[in-house]
Chain A
Amino acid sequence: MKFTGLIFASLVLLPGCDTRNLYVAHDTVLGINAVVNQGRQKGQLVVGYDRDFATVIPKSVDPTSTGEKDAMALVNCTELEIDGIYLNAYSDVMITGDAAVAHVKSGALTPSKFDCEIEEG
């Protein structure tokens, strides 16, 4: 079983000020899982099976070269491979900030040219 999430979320403008980091998270539960936040205001109880896969893009990052403060510019390709209930493999290619803007302006942002290839290094 293979899930492939291809996200081209570039130049997204979102108001607000939140986390500065981009997060990609995968969470699988089989059995009982109870979570409560530190403020004890939010909680979740899972009995049985649950799988989540999410990407959180920061709403506000450092000012760009023009002085503007926008959401993170991001070109991202993420691939999650599942084997049964277990995670088998994860891979991603990410370009952020001005580098992502330059990548978009260069005309390279097409699915055929941005295909999650991992650059060995």
Chain B
Amino acid sequence: MPSKAHGTIAALMLWPVLAACSVNDFGVVEARAFAAGDAKVRTTSAVGLHTDARNDRSSLTLGVFDAAWIVPPACQDTGPRRPPLLYSRMIGLQIAIGRDELRFSLGLHERLLVQMTGEGAGAHRSLSFRPSHPDQTVFTGPDPKICNEKENKK
């Protein structure tokens, strides 16, 4: 009987986690897209156990996961490999593997990474982003040509 009770308690404790599982934009997750000029802003919000394998990074999160990134016009179909703007916020426990690092986080981890290419004749770019209002994002600038390579080969 005690073992059965323990099993029931364990199942009840794990139920919220198991019930809220998501992988990228599939599962218990809120995925949205907004227009920002010719570009798009995509967002993902998940609670529970979330696995994300996009934007040159893979992560496993237990808790709250929010991410937003800009998709340049040239990458609308394939998705960007390294977007001009990548924002993520995690509250809980996360293990992440990127191209350059392995990260373990417990608590809050918020990150914003913005990049711009320095090629050729140069360019002018304007960017404005609010994590709480991604629909108000302003992005004008050159196409950085950093689309997903695997998708481009199709």
Contact = CB atoms under 8 A, between A and B. Distances in A.
Contacts of A115: none
Nearest to A60: B118
Contact of A23 (B114, B128, B140): B114
Nearest to B97: A38
Given A23-B113, A97-B118, A89 B128 contact: yes
Contact of B140 (A20, A28, A98, A119): A119
Given A23-B115, A121-B126, A29 B101 contact: no
A24 B114 CA distance: 5
A32 B101 contact: no
B46 to A, nearest CB: 18
A87 interface: yes
A1 interface: no
B116 A94 contact: yes
Interface of B: 37, 85, 87, 89, 99-132, 138, 140-141
Nearest to A48: B107
Contacts, number: 160
Interface residues of A, number: 47
Nearest to A57: B118
A93 interface: yes
A121 B142 CA distance: 12
Contacts of A31: 105-109
A98 B121 CA distance: 5
A90 B118 contact: no
Given A24-B114, A121-B140, 8 more contacts: A86-B89, A91-B127, A92-B114, A93-B127, A94-B125, A96-B123, A99-B123, A120-B138
A7 B100 CA distance: 27
Q: Which 3 A-B pairs have the closest CB atoms?
A: A31-B107, A97-B122, A121-B140
Nearest to A39: B100
